[in-house]
Amino acid sequence: MRNDAQKLQGAVPRNGRSNGFFSIRTYFKIVSSGASTVASTVRSAGASVASTIAERYEEAIRDQFDVAG
């Protein structure tokens, strides 16, 4: 009688992975998800920096008019 390891040899697990390796499709899904997260973070940081610069510029303009007036 064969043991369990012999019975499972060559079988594909239910999770779709074979021999512990990711499929190419799964790999690209993970990479794509990571790239989307990075892009979202960069957009958010860029908007925050732009907003801060605009606020400081407006404050500087107001200060110049206060001093001149």
Domain ranges within the chain, ordered by starting residue: 24-69
Per DSSP, helices labelled H in the chain are 4-8, 24-68
* Mean pLDDT, the chain, whole residue set: 75
User: Is the distance from CB of 33 to CB of 39 less than 8 angstroms?
Assistant: no
- Whole-model pTM: value is 0.44
Under the banding of pLDDT at 50, 70 and 90, the label for residue 6 is very low
Strand partners, 21: 18
Instruction: Give me 66's structure tokens.
Output: 């206060």
Residues 6+ apart with CB under 8 A from 8: none
